[in-house]
Amino acid sequence: MKFGPRCLLTSVCPKNACQNNGQCIPADISVSDSHYYGSKCEYRKGQLDIYLENLNIPSFLSTFFLTISNESEPQLAIMIQKLTLFQRRVTFRISIPYNLVIVELNRKYYLAAIQSISNLDLSTINPSHECLSIEILFKSTLMKMSRFQRIKFYHIPCQTNHDFNCFMDKFYLCLCTKDRHANCVEFNYDKNLQCSSKHYCANG
């Protein structure tokens, strides 16, 4: 491979510098395809396939990957995928471990996955997976309380409906545990997803 301002120099990449069909460029840098990552393309990304069942297909799908640790604040990675008119299955490839996956469709939020089980996961979401707003679940008297007072009552939706999986407010995403308690984590779903510059995006 030639490089340089006039394409007169020959690449000096070491033999087998990149793995998994990665392409080496001068300075010993590997350019990986969408399935791999790492300095030498040595790691395979995890794959999550999401199937939309009995849901209106949006023009794009926003997916939130949450990484939760006792040692730090929850980490949030957001991936956006365009959908075709009749596309019900979407594939995401991600290089970070995750504990929760939330999908946004038409301003509604659905629980897609809990824990990254393997490198190849399949999740089917339908209307029963929706994380309802606490404003729908609680009476107006509770909604007038401060969020720190109100959160003491967050076990009620889990205990009154045993088929209930999750709900959310402006600050927290809450999951119903097997013991029907509410386990809540900070979730900033209202991030500004607008492009920060006027440049168009590449590669879809």
As a whole number of angstroms, the distance between CA 59 and CA 8 comes to 46
Which residue bears the tokens 């590669």?
A: 203
Under CATH, domain 45-130 is a member of which superfamily? Carboxypeptidase-like, regulatory domain (2.60.40.1120)
CB-CB contact of 103 with 67 (8 Å): no
Domain extent listing, the chain? 15-44, 45-130, 131-190
Q: Two tokens at 115?
A: 């824990």
Q: Under a CB-based contact definition with an 8 Å cutoff, are residues 98 and 157 in contact? A: no
State pTM to two decimals.
0.75
CATH 3.40.50 is the classification of domain 15-44:
no
- pLDDT tens, residue order, the chain (204 aa): 555 566 656 656 767 777 877 777 655 566 666 777 777 777 778 888 999 999 999 999 999 999 988 888 888 999 999 999 899 999 998 888 888 999 999 889 999 988 754 555 788 999 999 999 999 998 888 888 888 899 899 999 999 988 889 999 988 999 999 999 999 998 887 765 555 555 555 554
Contact 66, 74 (CB under 8 A): yes
